[in-house]
Amino acid sequence: MSQRPGNNQDVTPSEQSALQEALQAAAATWPHPNPRVGAVVLSTAGTVVGTGVHKGPGATHAEVEAIEAAGEAAFGGTLVVTLEPCNHHGRTPPCTEAIHQSGIRRVVIGALDPDERVSGSGIERLRTLGIDVHDAIAPQLVQEADPAYFHHRRSGRARVTLKLAATLDGQVAAADGSSQWITGPEARADVHRIRSESDGVAVGAGTARTDNPKLTVRLDAYEGPQPRPVLIAGREVIPPDLALFERSPLVYSPHPGPWPDSTELVEVASSDGRVDLSAVIRDLPNRGVLELLVEGGPTLAGALSSAGLVDRYVLYLGARLGQGGGRSMFDGVFATLADARSVEIDSVVQLGPDLRVEFRPAIGGRQPEAAA
Ligand SMILES: NC(=O)c1ccc[n+]([C@@H]2O[C@H](COP(=O)([O-])OP(=O)(O)OC[C@H]3O[C@@H](n4cnc5c(N)ncnc54)[C@H](OP(=O)(O)O)[C@@H]3O)[C@@H](O)[C@H]2O)c1
């Protein structure tokens, strides 16, 4: 079901601020592959009497947590929730029943749930139960708070952000393979911030071997979970003593190994004997990775980009020049101008001495995967 534009008429100021509170509470959760949801119960007097969030698969839903926190004060009150309540039996009973049984009279919803098991049926059920429902008051805000969830439920794929750091003349590594560090501390801290928003961070076999990255979030005072390392393995053997094997990586490989015991192996060979990247992007959500950050080298970057599998590009341009042929951002051949992909630039920001450019494939631009 598509989102209607936000409709804020008839929503009280206390309901508006309850939605902000619910969004804020949900922002501190990592529930993927489930959605990030926050809920607030307002008493008949309009004061906050209960707050809840959903912490992930198998955990109580945000609505139920907020209703339980409110207790009897929920009776006759209003539930403000960021995402449409569910109406199906999953690992927990339907939220619509819990809302009905609590005696709540009104439900204000930030956005409709794009999951086809919910998608409008939660709202319909609440209305059938005689509850006053005000839906989709802030679809954009809710979507921006959990873009990977909306992306996955609509496309069946993980949301892929490709990060590259290059010199101003477009080199991601020197001819000897060295690339640390092209950018300064401000840009590198920004990469760690994006890692902290990701469920998984992927590199290809080449980067794993050359850079031996840890792929962890290293930010002062960071207390959230670490993203899972994801390795796109190649045809050749990878040394088992690499740092990422210390963190139970997810390894997509065209062959069975052997791999260190800590590895979760998924074999997905394509016809050229490499990993089938399209299959990887569809498989990742089954393993809890909806938001993937790719920090691979030019081979993986070129393969993902030319297959139309990148949803967001974050390019850091270091304040230096390579002045010659090292490694350019994407492997492959740029044969003629007509092959260039159009992009839409979302932002250009200066970070210390460097630049950060964020962009995405232009709508209607050439996209092989989407067209397939
Ligand atoms: N500046 C930056 O942002 C940045 C970031 C990362 C890395 N780097 C630099 O880039 C260099 C490494 O680049 P790289 O291109 O060798 O590493 P890569 O892109 O991380 O890894 C490429 C390898 O992944 C394997 N692979 C498996 N399936 C694949 C598929 N479908 N498509 C593409 N690759 C697949 C292949 O291994 P096989 O060939 O064995 O089959 C391939 O050679 C290093 O110098 C590193 O320092 C720079």
What is the arithmetic mean of pLDDT over 89-112?
A: 92
Does any ligand 1 atom lie closer than 6 A to the CB of residue 303?
Answer: yes
Separation between Cα atoms, residue 116 and residue 128, nearest integer Å: 19
Q: What's the CA-to-centroid distance between 370 and ligand 1, angstroms? A: 24
- Specify the residue for token string 């009497």: 49
Q: What's the CA-to-centroid distance between 151 and ligand 1, angstroms? A: 26
Of residues 369 and 99, the one with the higher pLDDT is 99
User: Of 315, 309, 244, which is closest to residue 280 (Cα–Cα)?
Assistant: 309
- CATH number for the region 156-371 comes to 3.40.430.10
Separation between Cα atoms, residue 13 and residue 34, nearest integer Å: 29
36 — pLDDT class (breaks 50, 70, 90): very high
User: Is residue 63 among the annotated active site residues?
Assistant: yes
> Which CATH class name applies to 13-146?
alpha beta
86 — pLDDT class (breaks 50, 70, 90): very high
Domain ranges for the chain: 13-146, 156-371
Of residues 222 and 7, the one with the higher pLDDT is 222
143 CB neighbour count, 10 Å cutoff: 17
SS3 280: helix
Per residue in 304-320, pLDDT (tens digit) is 999 999 999 999 999 99
| Closest atom of ligand 1 relative to the 177 alpha carbon | 45
User: Of 266, 248, 246, 270, which is closest to residue 257 (Cα–Cα)?
Assistant: 266
User: 264-267 and 250-253 as β-strands: parallel, antiparallel, unpaired?
Assistant: parallel
Does any ligand 1 atom lie closer than 6 A to the CB of residue 275?
Answer: yes
User: Of 296, 284, 301, 278, which is closest to residue 250 (Cα–Cα)?
Assistant: 284
121-128 vs 95-102: helix crossing angle, rounded to 10:
30
pLDDT, residue 88, reads 81
DSSP states of 175-225 = TTS--TTSS-HHHHHHHHHHHHT-SEEEEEHHHHHHH--------TT--SP
1 — pLDDT class (breaks 50, 70, 90): very low
DSSP states of 140-168 = HHHHHHSHHHHHHHHHSS-EEEEEEEEET
Contacts of 140 (CB under 8 A, 6+ apart): 6
Does any ligand 1 atom lie closer than 6 A to the CB of residue 280?
Answer: no
Per residue in 123-176, pLDDT (tens digit) is 999 999 999 999 989 999 999 999 999 999 999 999 999 999 999 999 999 999
pLDDT, residue 363, reads 84
What is the arithmetic mean of pLDDT over 88-105?
A: 89
pTM (two decimals): 0.92
- pLDDT exceeds cutoff 80 at 279: yes
Lowest mean pLDDT among 84-93, 246-255, 285-294: 84-93
> What percent of the chain clears pLDDT 90, i.e. is strictly above it?
87
Mean pLDDT of the chain: 93
